[in-house]
Structure 1
């Protein structure tokens, strides 16, 4: 029986050639050209530097397939980011969205849209995934004519030791399902997902190796301590084998990574390095490529934060690790926290009452085990108490840290790449498309729409001209909430002033709204903007005359006549 092959190609000056060479080494591109659709899952876990698949590698992969005859319209780049963010913002900030746009391929944000349930593992437990993925990968009738490839980033990981081909499948789950079983069963669960959704090809972006993933701290003074130069592309159709080789290059022992070992034992691929054919281009000594890249947290926490664990169920894979990894990131990115932050974190259950005396406030009860045992007692004995009664929910754990540290979550967004109006606009579009994400507290949709309408001039032209923006406003103008309809109308009027013909129809729609509130808002906005742009009023004249003649509300009639007076 032939050994599983893993290609390791040193990147020359041309990433596309290196990717092409890696694919050719394991059998060539032709076997990966689908009859129907090509699905490409990248690592878009976060927007911070070195967290995501390098856009240049994605660009190279897309161009290789398109040059080999695949239509761009048949290619779908798919991803769902970590809890606490939404995927659109990750794609925008990282440059991944721009690469997809330039190559004219589709993007599927898997934290949006319709969803389906599937069953995993021996227990047949239910999780939710994107309906698109269900239709194209789980549905075997379609799956046989589709190809699914993945492009993970080359990283170690605070929990699973590496995050490569197997773990990348976690991104297929919707937000609530990502948290489900994110505890002592986490590694088994990752293999359960992998077993259900198995890639045909894995191409690892090994330009850099990243320590203590998923995200290195965005601190220019220390970020180089987390980034290791490799300058490699890895490829294999045996995802267990490529994970094993990747782990070796990152300095881990044979079968040390739990997910690799579990998948190997289940017969899902070859995880034993001794049984893998590793082919290097050019010919290189494997030992010369190995670097010892750390995976464990540095425990760089604030000096005045007390962390207490119960005797039971303080799962490092769950509430403990998910909270501490983000606390470490916040501390390294905001050095003032080292001395100034002061609070208590409680995890697990099985506490003695003696352990709970004179705790440092505020106090955070993290995870359902802790809240169920201590919630009432702590709240009856202390004033400043915060709790997250959820298991494995990273988004809520980060929220509690933002609260007790006083850090504004929006301050963590690079506004030079993604302005606040753009961020909120993207969120509104995602929200209108059934976004499911555990996010920090954001303004309400009506508040966001009001902000967007007052800051249109600060939003890039390419964003405003995106058809999806207009479709979202059109959808929101049918919302049952009159505040949402009113504030959507304000945007439509601003856009009609800028881009006229594309938006006149929506303003006319608002002028026929049955709600007096929406109608008054529309007329007041037109009265104000009409002083600067009478051409818009002229184009709306018929609709306004209809309101004056048919509406019985005197204030509405008066507003309508005032507007027409601008063009008389």
Structure 2
């Protein structure tokens, strides 16, 4: 049987101002979103989807408080209020934000905490919980003879996820509410990728390379959403973390909501709106190959309802490139005075390449970050090229560290060499770049800084396991 996917357009006009100004949605659009969310959930089963506990766990994309990175609060509110009116005993809003963030701080700044106060939903800061371990099985370990296998197969996940959504999945409703975004390391970040928020930070940095698609599907093998609603009021191209100064290039006002009981079906539809197919999204392809998609293998397995009769050649805004695909890789506009050296043997866009480049671009364009230094990533370097490096240098990723760090420290000294290990230790990368580019970490809080500082202290008091840059890292070399 084909899986139903509902795509509904939001008719109310979007903002007329430049997208470099991130502003709340209009009252008319907010009301229309509430009606449309209700229509989609009703069509998917509504109150009949509630399980024996009548508890609902909502997982938005709350990676950060940066503009256009997270699920719109207006949609999150509509989702919470729908399930409350449908008879939920309790609605929980849960997240474990991306590396370099405390979830409690993100909720305070992006408005999610206000929604919880207004609606009575209970916020769950997953980074503050105890954890339970799992073994990922998508690939063998490098220690079992596979040179491209996992560096680390063990993964820790918060107790709410393990107890409520895995072991007691038959009792609790799990609603996944990602944002419609391309991703420079994963093709897209939709329903399946949204679950990467469940592993704790220390379980994310390893294998954030060519093995990332396998680990994303490992998480899917442990739990799958009961309902997925993709928020596409805006979508992002050129990756998942758009530079605000470039928002008019990177943000697309698609004004759609996509709902399905099958996360892979929802993701295929969302990817197609972005012009991307199964072949463009490695983790979606892996999920299908591992039979984790409920029989869905492509668009032929989708029964489309709503405001679109077909996904073939869909071009909502009429501005798709001639290739038919919106760009997922980073916009090519980087500081001219930061020299970037990539290894010739290996340089993974999923990890040591596009993670640092994303942050470099944001710090330069949105925070007036300074250049005058060198970024080294990957493996397979010409020793003469390394010996030509002068001044300060950031070595990103364990491959580059193992190959060139000692050579650089011996010649330049520890004060000029910054190290960020694993495949993606984003907190260490941020600490290095804050110091190199003289950007105060507090500038990443676009509003409500007083409340955010209090939330920062509370997160530490509650034992958050998040890896977060030192607030003084712009003044003191930490790595």
TM range (shorter): 0.7 to 0.9
Q: Quote how far apart the aligned CAs of 1:254 are.
A: 4.8
Q: Contact conserved, 1:121 with 1:192, CA < 8 A, in 2? A: yes
8 Å Cα contact 1:260/1:271 also seen in 2: no
Work out which of the residue numbers 158, 173, 193 in structure 2 matches 1:147.
Answer: 173
Asked if the contact 2:103/2:125 (under 8 Å) is kept, the reply is yes
> Do the aligned residues in 1 keep the contact of 2:109 with 2:452 (CA within 8 Å)?
no
Of the candidates 316, 320, 331, which is equivalent to residue 289 of structure 1?
A: 316
Question: Retained in 2: the 8 A contact 1:43–1:151?
Answer: yes
Residue from 162, 178, 184 that aligns with 1:134:
162
Distance 1:45 1:213 in 2: 14
- The answer to whether the 8 Å contact 2:47/2:83 transfers is no
- After TM superposition, give the deviation of residue 422 of structure 1 in Å: 2.8
CA distance in 2, matches of 1:376, 1:284: 56
Alpha-carbon deviation of 1:350? 2.6
Answering whether residue 347 of structure 2 is matched by residue 333 of structure 1, we say no
1:422 is aligned to 2:424: no
Q: 1:183 maps to which residue? A: 209
Q: Does 1:48 align with 2:27?
A: no
Residue 8 of structure 2 corresponds to which residue in structure 1?
A: 9
1:58-115 deviation per Cα after TM superposition (whole angstroms, max 9, x unaligned): 11111111111212xx211110111111111111111111111111011111111211
Matched residue, 1:322: 355
Following the alignment from structure 1 to structure 2, what is the Cα–Cα distance between the partners of residues 17 and 418? 30
- Distance verdict in 2 for CA 1:271–1:330, change over 3 Å: farther
Q: Is the 8 A contact 1:255 1:272 kept in 2?
A: no
CA distance in structure 2 between the partners assigned to 1:409 and 1:67 by the alignment: 40
Work out the CA distance in 2 between the residues paired with 1:254 and 1:426.
Answer: 40
Given that 1:83 and 1:395 are in contact with CA atoms closer than 8 Å, whether structure 2 keeps it comes out as: yes
Which of 391, 394, 397 is 2:429 aligned to? 397
User: Per-residue CA shift, 1:235-292, capped at 9, x if unaligned?
Assistant: 0011111111101111223542112211122222214112211112376886353763
1:206–1:231 Cα contact (<8 Å) kept: yes
**Of 31, 53, 69, which residue of structure 1 is paired with 2:48?**
31
**Which structure 2 residues correspond to residues 424-463 of structure 1 after superposition, within 5 A?**
424-442=453-471
Alignment RMSD: 2.0
**Alignment gaps of 5+ in structure 1:** 445-568
CA distance in 2, matches of 1:254, 1:44: 25
Determine the C-alpha separation between the residues in 1 that align with 2:189 and 2:303: 22
Deviation track 1:19-55 (CA, whole Å, cap 9, x = no partner) reads 1222233x32133212212111000011011111111
Gap change, CA 1:298 and 1:213, over 3 Å in 2: closer
CA distance in 2, matches of 1:138, 1:283: 35
Normalising by structure 2, we get a TM-score of: 0.85
Q: How many residues align?
A: 430
Aligned to 1:252: 276
Rate the CA distance shift 1:226–1:366 in 2: closer, same or farther, 3 A.
Answer: same
Q: Residue 297 of structure 1 aligns to a residue in which SS?
A: coil
Change (3 A) 1:252 1:362: same
- Residue-by-residue CA offset, 1:462-502 (whole Å, 9 max, x unaligned): xxxxxxxxxxxxxxxxxxxxxxxxxxxxxxxxxxxxxxxxx
Matched, 1:197 2:227: no
Whether the aligned pair in 1 keeps the contact of 2:269 and 2:311 (CA below 8 Å) is no
Hey, what's the Cα distance between the residues in 1 that align with 2:219 and 2:279? 19
In the alignment, is the contact (CA less than 8 A) between 1:153 and 1:206 conserved in 2?
yes
2:387 corresponds in structure 1 to 357
- Partners of 2:231 and 2:257 within 8 A in 1: yes
Give the number of the structure whose residues are more often helix, by fraction: 1
Q: Confirm or deny that 1:69 pairs with 2:68.
A: no
- Residue 234 of structure 1 corresponds to 258
Cα contact 1:77–1:105 (8 A) shared by 2: yes
TM-score, normalization: structure 1?
0.72
* Structure 2 CA distance for partners of 1:404 and 1:443, relative to 1, 3 Å: closer
| Contact 1:163–1:214 (Cα < 8 Å) also in 2 | yes
Partner Cα distance (1:373, 1:288) in 2 = 46
Partner of 2:133, secondary structure, is: strand
Q: Look at both structures and tell me which one has the larger radius of gyration over its CA atoms.
A: 1
**Among 350, 368, 375, which residue is 2:398 paired with?**
368
For the structure 1 residues 381 and 32, does the alpha-carbon distance in structure 2 shift closer, same or farther, using more than 3 Å as the test? same
Which residue does the alignment assign to 1:409?
441
Q: Alignment partner of 2:390: what SS?
A: coil
Q: Specify whether residues 355 and 172 from structure 1 end up closer, same or farther in structure 2 by C-alpha distance, changes over 3 A only.
A: same
Deviates further, 145-154 or 370-379: 370-379
CA distance in 2, matches of 1:100, 1:212: 32
State the partner residue of 1:211. Answer: 237
Q: Give the direction of change, closer, same or farther, for the CA distance of 1:402–1:271 in structure 2 (3 Å limit).
A: farther
- Segments of 5+ residues of structure 2 without an aligned counterpart are 12-28, 142-152, 321-325, 474-479
Query: Do the aligned residues in 1 keep the contact of 2:180 with 2:189 (CA within 8 Å)?
Result: yes
**Structure 1 position 95 matched with structure 2 position 127:** no
Tell which has more relative contact order, 1 or 2 (C-alpha 8 A, sep 6+).
2
